[in-house]
């Protein structure tokens, strides 16, 4: 199978998969509706919050620090394993990288995975690895693979019929690689009603659930009727199956119901007490965490909050890695810790599974992984003469960190290990993406053999249904 797709080929295949999904009929369940699937459990979680560190968060600079080496002009790059000092956490003997002290103080409420191994997809593209993380499938696919949030929305349904089951906060599609990002921000063959409700800017969340300024209720109702008419003349109406068209209509009905509900106030951050608002206000990501907390309290099923992927921005540190990480840590440290503390205080954390993850890690010298190096994409000199080269700039897939809290996850636990010397690869208890997905599904009580028949073949939540939950992460 070809594994060196460029962006154009990726988009062509993804577009073809989308058209195939539209043309497909209703997905056929492997068992009759209402029947329990093999291995289905009651679950320990009702809600999932995914805190997405888009762009490649370096494990050695965040939750798995190694030997600290300060910058010196003329130093050897291969000497540098971590550019930040280590700081203690709530767990004895476990350290985080400097700048993440707040998250470290709540580590006793969750589990740290230090052995996630990202997929070997050949030439590394962020959007392809993000597609793999969010869908569990390697792109491109002949079938539009659903986002994990869509699987959860489909299998469990909304907790509150008014609140969208799947809410995506923080990612715009007006930035670089927008079309590639859209490829996995979808419910695929499951239908539009299970797709994400997008809130690009949490400060404007209320605008997402009310008519535009100056439009009265009667005019909005006429707009809604016109929209339904337009569906019939759209590509969905022309090429889509009855199932897909009905699913799109149901998604609009759900949005209309939210518009007229008192729960819509949850999207209005201006109603949050100032003291609480200020604790989260480090920017769009921090306020996204606040919105996630409010929506969790109102009954959302799956919420994704992202630092946002934009090429060469945020965690996509192709240069100035050290200085960039200083700002990124300020953005995430306080809000993530506050979210966990707030949900724990109100009792919601017990049934809310929080995951903090990134598509892969980074290293200063190794691109890919030691035994499967790929084309280098960063001009990283062996001798550092400029501060901009001090940091983790190359994509590294053989050792990544993930945090999990609540929802049946062990408290105060560390799983897996990476080497203390370069290459800082996984050396104990490797975990891959199908294991992460099945662990989430297991916590939610979704059976491991869940699948639907698409194009006369089964399509599982994990490839071929072979994913196994990592039970050692759960109580």
Which pLDDT score is estimated for 32? Answer: 31
Tokens in use for 174? 């007006």
Any bridge partners for residue 136, and if so which?
none
Decide if 220 is inside a domain: no
Residues of the chain with pLDDT under 50: 1-2, 10, 16-21, 23-24, 30-36
Q: 278 lies in which domain range?
A: 53-205+269-473
Decide if 323 is inside a domain: yes
Decide if 324 is inside a domain: yes
DSSP per residue over 177-195, as a string?
THHHHHTTSS-GGG-GGGS
Tens-digit pLDDT profile for residues 389-436: 999 999 999 999 999 999 999 999 999 999 999 999 999 999 999 999
Give the count of domains, the chain: 1
Decide if 255 is inside a domain: no
Decide if 27 is inside a domain: no
Cβ-defined contacts of 141-144 (< 8 Å, 24+) = 141/13, 141/17, 142/13, 142/16, 142/17, 142/20, 142/455, 143/17, 143/20, 143/21, 143/24, 143/188, 143/189, 143/454, 143/455, 143/459, 144/14, 144/17, 144/18, 144/20, 144/21, 144/186, 144/188, 144/189
Contact 171, 309 (CB under 8 A): yes
Is residue 38 reached through a cis peptide bond, with omega within 30 degrees of 0 on the bond before it? no
CATH number at residue 185: 3.40.720.10
Decide if 466 is inside a domain: yes
Which pLDDT score is estimated for 170? Answer: 96
Exposed / middle / buried, residue 266 (Cβ in 10 Å: 0-12, 13-18, 19+): buried
DSSP H or E segment with residue 289: helix 284-298
Predicted structure pTM score: 0.87
Decide if 455 is inside a domain: yes
**How many CB atoms are closer than 10 A to CB 28?**
11
Decide if 263 is inside a domain: no
Tens-digit pLDDT profile for residues 274-326: 999 999 999 999 999 999 999 999 999 999 999 999 999 999 999 999 999 99
The Cα–Cα gap between 364 and 393 comes to 5
Comparing CA positions, the residue from 339, 397, 388 lying closest to residue 119 is 397
């Amino acid at each position: 199978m070809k594994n060196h797709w460029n962006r154009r080929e990726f988009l062509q295949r993804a577009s073809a998969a989308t058209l195939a999904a539209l043309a497909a009929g209703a997905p056929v369940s492997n068992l009759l509706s209402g029947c329990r699937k093999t291995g289905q459990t009651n679950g320990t979680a009702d809600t999932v919050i995914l805190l997405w560190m888009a762009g490649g968060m370096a494990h050695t600079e965040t939750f798995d620090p190694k030997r600290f080496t300060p910058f010196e002009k003329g130093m050897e790059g291969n000497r540098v394993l971590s550019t930040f000092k280590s700081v203690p956490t709530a767990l004895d003997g476990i350290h985080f990288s400097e700048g993440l002290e707040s998250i470290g103080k709540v580590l006793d409420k969750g589990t740290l995975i230090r052995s996630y191994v990202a997929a070997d997809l050949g030439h590394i593209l962020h959007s392809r690895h993000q597609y793999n993380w969010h869908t569990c499938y390697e792109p491109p696919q002949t079938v539009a693979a659903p986002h994990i949030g869509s699987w959860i929305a489909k299998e469990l349904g909304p907790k509150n019929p008014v609140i969208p089951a799947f809410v995506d906060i923080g990612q715009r599609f007006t930035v670089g690689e927008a079309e590639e990002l859209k490829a996995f921000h979808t419910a695929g063959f499951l239908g539009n009603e299970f797709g994400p409700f997008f809130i690009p800017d949490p400060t404007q969340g209320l605008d997402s659930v009310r008519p535009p300024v100056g439009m009265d209720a009667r005019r909005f109702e006429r707009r809604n009727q016109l929209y339904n008419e337009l569906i019939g003349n759209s590509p969905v109406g022309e090429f889509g199956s009855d199932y897909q068209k009905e699913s799109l209509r149901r998604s609009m009905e759900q949005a209309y119901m939210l518009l007229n509900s008192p729960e819509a106030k949850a999207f209005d951050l201006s109603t949050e007490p100032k003291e609480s608002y200020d604790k989260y206000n480090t920017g769009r990501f921090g306020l996204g965490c606040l919105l996630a907390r409010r929506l969790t309290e109102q009954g959302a099923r799956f919420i994704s909050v992202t630092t946002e992927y934009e090429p060469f921005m945020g965690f996509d540190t192709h240069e100035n890695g050290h200085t960039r990480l200083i700002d990124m840590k300020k953005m995430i440290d306080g809000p993530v810790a506050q979210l966990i503390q707030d949900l724990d205080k109100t009792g919601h954390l017990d049934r809310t599974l929080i995951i903090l993850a990134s598509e892969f890690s980074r290293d200063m010298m190794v691109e890919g992984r030691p035994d499967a190096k790929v084309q280098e994409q960063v001009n990283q000199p062996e001798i550092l003469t400029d501060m901009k080269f001090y940091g983790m700039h190359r994509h590294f897939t053989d050792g990544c960190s993930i945090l999990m809290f609540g929802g049946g996850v062990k408290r105060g636990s560390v799983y897996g290990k990476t080497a203390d010397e370069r290459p800082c690869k996984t050396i104990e208890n490797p975990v891959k993406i199908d294991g992460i997905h099945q662990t989430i599904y297991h916590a939610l009580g979704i059976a491991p053999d869940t699948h639907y028949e698409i194009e006369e073949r089964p399509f599982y939540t994990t490839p071929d249904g072979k994913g196994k939950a990592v039970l050692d992460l759960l109580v």
